[in-house]
Chains A and B, each alone.
Chain A
Amino acid sequence: MDLARHDAAAVSAPAVRAAERSAILACVGLRKIYRMGEVDVRALDGVDFELRAGEFLVLLGPSGSGKSTLLNILGGLDVPSEGRVFFGAEELTDAADDQLTAYRRHHVGFVFQFYNLVPSLTARENVALVTDIADDPLDPEEALGLVGLAERLDHFPTQLSGGEQQRVAIARAIAKRPSVLLCDEPTGALDFRTGILVLEVLDRINRELGTATAVITHNAPIAAAADRVVTLGDGRVYGTRTNATRARASDLRW
């Protein structure tokens, strides 16, 4: 297995160099294997991927295709079984736990399917969770203004609708001025209309702040709003395409 890893690294050396130049976040030959008792589940089976500076990328694939696993590894929440991960020129592959924590703390913004707000904190305080520990953050009020919630600063999560909660989560993610914004099914728990609203916010953040954004979805029509679309299936990259024009979120239908 060690040999295999060396071979993979040797073969893809040019790709690594390319990734270092152009990509803000990249991985090569990524494998993630879960041992479930007797059987091995190959959640990722040799994935090469990159997220480029300033782009809006959609990661498309059916349920169980490994999208979350990939995003978790890129975001420093998880480590691969095999392969290498880079953040700019920095290698994250064998980073220690505290290095990964620092990476998440300063560079990554996460948006989750179920918002994951702290129920005992108001919208403002949920954002402050991040601004308390980031280096050069936005004000919580400013971040909430960007997602259109300037009026709801002191509301608790239970007092907000799902879409509003997700927008608070986005404000929380962008308040640290992250290098990358990683969103795992941000519209998955929302109805169509609210989903559009959330996508609009993500789209606007990407355009206004220039934050490289990766959005996971199993919902194919959303891909039209992306600069680039990467399709995953069975733990492998099926294809990558670049959209000539990026559709407006409000024009999407599904």
Chain B
Amino acid sequence: MWLNALNRKLLRETRTLKGQIFTIAVVLASGIVCFIALRGTYASLLASELDYYDRFRFADVFAQAERVPETLARRVEALPGVATVQTRVAKDVTLPIEGLSHPAYGRMLSLPPSGVPTTNAIYLKKGRLPERDDEVVLLEAFAEAYGLEPGHHVPVVVNGKRRSFRIAGIALSPEFVYAIRPGALVDDPKRHTVLWMQRSALATAFQLGGAFDDVSLKLAPGASEKSVREGLDRLLAPFGGNGSIARKDQISNRIVSQELDQLGVLSTMVPAVFVGVTAFLVNLVLGRMIRLQRPEIATLKAIGYSNVEIGRHYLGLVFVVLLPGSVLGLAGGLMLGHFVLALYGTTFRFPNLEFNLTAGLVATAVVVSAVAALAGAWGAVRSAVRLPPAEAMQPPAPARYRRSVVERLGVSALIGTSGMMVLREITRRPFRTLLSSFGIAGAISLLILSHFGLDSLISYFEGTFRREQRQDLAVVFAKPVAPGVVAELARVPGVLTAEGLRAVPVRIRYEHRARDSVMMGLPRPNTLRRLVGHGGPEVAVPADGVVLTQTLGDVLGLRIGDRPEVEVREGDRRTVRPVVVGFVDESVGMSIYAQAGTLAALEGDLGAVSSVLLKVDPLRTAQVDAQLRRSPSIIDVSDARGDMQRMLDMNTSFMNVWTAISIALSAGVVFGVVYNNARIGLAARARDLASLRVLGFTRGEISWILLGNQALEVALAIPVGLWLGRAWARQFMSTVDQETFRWQVAIAPRTYLLSVVVTLFAAAASALWVRRSLDTLDLVAVLKARE
């Protein structure tokens, strides 16, 4: 019979410990919730990605050129290691959407006559493929942003001519899981889209009949990506090819992979906190229970219960925690998982994104939780098992207190007798105090960990706007223009300063290492695009030589005075060996900077600019912006500060939910730790406290004696938690690909404040909860009871 006397004992004791068991179950459940939600989202995204890439033949190598005769496709196909090749026409267009002050930026891609490309197939969600010259298929996110449906029309400026296209279908593409405008830092579905149309029509519009400017290919199994890319680059070089891109560097894929990597790390890091705290709390409660029950354990042994039976009995408590904790955790995890995955789904577009709760995931969550709880129980239960039956006939010796070092320093005069009692309790169990503090610190660090990403991003933007990119608007041209344009723009009413920039694709080599990079030509003086060295000093653009971002320098192993080989990947494709004269500290990108003159000499022309930075009268920004956009050669006018603000606005609701969840989870841990400690303190010291009440101490005074401990634990936990959060954020960042981003971890004072306030609130709430029972302390009953 399962409800034998021993199990009844467990059940009854569970009932008296219900508050403690509940709080531990909540902490355990929180760990499972995080694990299921984060890991489940990770696994679901990863599975969707693999399936999507496979079924829609996401290419392995991508390349662009200016105008390549179609006949070259066969030579690309003949390269050893190439499985299939798809050529197309890919052009930038703008979409002057009505009601939008800025035309949206679009990428127009051709579809082969069959409509089914051999690489990068599209997934039609609605409608059909284009059948006429004036039909397009539109990327879903953009269509959703404007409520566009098949049959609607969109205006598109194609090669300078405004046309109206009928939307034939709405689609997704493995190339644009995350659709981001080149040069932008975040996606903006209202201002960026991708369109597909028939190849013949697009080719005609850009005079590319019988030619292509974009090629992608799939590799044969076991082929060397490096040698295929080298072969492809060689073939395309005469036609303006500026270097192929591997799948891992394809922008959408890179961002999705990065996000997945981070999610993968987070999905183990975050649950680890809960798992650790669960183990600690189980140990705390069970250890206390077993110490209290020494005579009962001895009796059970004396009347013939075996060590195994007694061990199992106390481990039963673990299952009382584990069962509701797991059920709660799985249910919560499933809910949160759906929510998180849906959030990802709005940014990362996959054909079918389903939260996949696998048996393996559930088993891992439950087994890891069980192992943690059992590990926490282990030490306590072992002491029960080891208890020699005869020795335990005597009741445990009264707790031994000593005068601590602190006391001997003579602080007793300062903190009084009740302070002394608090201090003695802590010095008597320093390890428990430390572990409790550590658990609370873990909760604090979770809050920081859940916020530092956005903090760092904002800090990066603000720092960049303050130091390096001081323009109000950046004007981007479809192709490089003559430097005279800068002066023209400077004369536009409202423009205060205009400075031209030139970006040239290059490949930089040093020793055996090489990277594709962009060489930026800066004007003199450069007041809007500045270079800033490590620690903040402005670095002057040298008349001779180049300045590199520190990341690029590190990757290539370059030092000041070295002369790397720089190959220009357009025009005459000259190669030079400029001297490295300095490094700048930029978080994003691997750029090379030189004076515009240096770049012009390198290109063998009189100079050109690919974008112009403007300082604008703040009152006339909108006017200037609108006027600039009317020029057909200008493809985009971007306002980085506005972009950042829009990105933040778009993510507010997401961030609010995220904040609420992280607060709830962290507060649960703090509550659990403080509550359990206070309860145990109360159980152990009810007698002392009742005696003090009899002696005339007030409720407030005895509350302080009991809860002073917890107050100190929290006080100790706060600095440790803040530090831990920061250290964790750093550790987390170091797992992120250092080549693409080199974030400085920045934690806003707001985040620190939030963590502290949440902790204090949760601690105060649980302390008050325990204090209620202190207020109703039945003096007579307590003094009469055994303990």
Contact = CB atoms under 8 A, between A and B. Distances in A.
Contacts of B8: 121, 125
Given A72-B390, A120-B9, A129-B5, A101 B303 contact: no
Interface in B1-23: 4-6, 8-9, 12-13, 16
A97 interface: yes
Nearest to A72: B390
A118 B388 CA distance: 18
Interface string A97-121: 1100110111011101010111111
A97 B305 CA distance: 11
Contacts of A121: 5, 8-9, 12
Given A72-B390, A78-B388, A116-B296, A128 B5 contact: yes
B304 A112 contact: no
B621 interface: no
Nearest to A109: B303
A83 B420 CA distance: 52
A75 interface: yes
A68 B303 CA distance: 16
Contact of B304 (A119, A128, A130): A130
Kindly state the interface size class of chain A when it binds its partner. Answer: 35 or more
A176 to B, nearest CB: 8
A172 B8 CA distance: 16
B389 A129 contact: no
Contacts of B633: none
A28 B306 CA distance: 27
A77 interface: yes
Nearest to B786: A119
A231 interface: no
A7 B620 CA distance: 114
B301 A120 contact: no
A77 B13 contact: no
A188 to B, nearest CB: 12
Interface in B293-323: 295-296, 298-307, 309
A187 interface: no
B5 A104 contact: no
Contact of A120 (B13, B304, B306): B13
Given A116-B298, A126-B5, A132-B6, A97 B307 contact: yes
Interface residues of B, number: 26
A160 B90 CA distance: 91
Contacts of B753: none
Contacts of B5: 121, 125-126, 128-129, 132
Given A118-B9, A126-B5, A128-B4, A133 B304 contact: yes
Contacts of B13: 120
Given A116-B296, A121-B9, A129-B300, A68 B305 contact: no
A129 B9 CA distance: 10
Nearest to A105: B304
B393 A172 contact: no
Contacts of B301: 77, 101, 104
A78 to B, nearest CB: 4
Given A121-B9, A128-B5, A132-B4, A110 B302 contact: yes
A119 B389 CA distance: 18
B304 A104 contact: yes
A105 B107 CA distance: 83
A78 B301 CA distance: 11
Contacts of A108: 304
Interface in A134-177: 134, 172-173, 176
A108 B303 CA distance: 7
Nearest to A69: B390
B305 A105 contact: yes
A8 B349 CA distance: 88
A134 to B, nearest CB: 8
Contact of A118 (B296, B302, B306, B786): B296
A118 B390 contact: no
Contacts of A125: 5, 8-9
B9 A112 contact: no
Interface string A11-26: 0000000000000000
Given A116-B295, A129-B6, A75 B303 contact: no
A126 B299 CA distance: 11
B306 A77 contact: no
Contacts of A130: 303-304
A112 B303 contact: no
Nearest to A157: B786
- Residue among B12, B13, B298 with the highest chain A CB neighbour number at 10 A: B12
Contacts of B295: 114, 116
Nearest to A68: B393
Interface string B187-219: 000000000000000000000000000000000
Contacts of A173: 303
- Residue among B8, B300, B388, B389 with the highest chain A CB neighbour number at 10 A: B389
Given A116-B295, A120-B12, A121-B9, A129 B303 contact: yes
Contacts of A128: 4-5
Contacts of B299: 110, 112, 116-118
B244 to A, nearest CB: 73
Interface in A36-78: 68, 72, 75, 77-78
Nearest to A128: B5
A77 B389 contact: yes
A126 to B, nearest CB: 7
Contacts of A68: 393
- Residue among B5, B16, B299, B301 with the highest chain A CB neighbour number at 10 A: B5
A114 B392 CA distance: 12
B306 A78 contact: no
Contacts of B12: 120-121
Contacts of B307: 97, 101
B304 A106 contact: yes
Contacts of A120: 9, 12-13, 16
A12 B4 CA distance: 46
Interface string B20-41: 0000000000000000000000
A67 to B, nearest CB: 13
B306 A110 contact: no
B4 A104 contact: no
Contacts of B4: 128, 132
Contacts of A75: 302
- Residue among B16, B302, B390, B393 with the highest chain A CB neighbour number at 10 A: B302
A184 B299 CA distance: 13
Contacts of A78: 388-390
Given A114-B295, A116-B295, A118-B296, A77 B302 contact: yes
B550 to A, nearest CB: 66
Interface in A172-210: 172-173, 176, 184
Contact of A77 (B9, B300, B390, B786): B390
A97 B301 CA distance: 11
B306 A98 contact: yes
Contacts of A77: 301-302, 388-390, 393
B9 A104 contact: no
Contact of B303 (A72, A98, A105, A119): A105
25 contacts: A72-B393, A77-B388, A77-B389, A78-B390, A101-B306, A105-B303, A105-B304, A108-B304, A112-B299, A112-B393, A114-B295, A116-B298, A116-B302, A118-B299, A118-B300, A120-B16, A121-B8, A125-B5, A125-B8, A128-B5, A129-B5, A129-B300, A130-B304, A132-B4, A176-B304
Q: What 9 pairs between A and B have smallest CB-CB spacing?
A: A105-B304, A128-B5, A78-B390, A116-B299, A77-B390, A120-B12, A72-B390, A104-B304, A129-B5
Given A97-B307, A116-B295, 20 more contacts: A77-B388, A101-B301, A101-B304, A104-B304, A105-B303, A105-B305, A105-B306, A110-B302, A114-B295, A116-B299, A116-B302, A118-B299, A118-B300, A119-B786, A125-B9, A128-B4, A129-B300, A129-B303, A132-B4, A133-B304
Interface of B: 4-6, 8-9, 12-13, 16, 295-296, 298-307, 309, 388-390, 393, 786
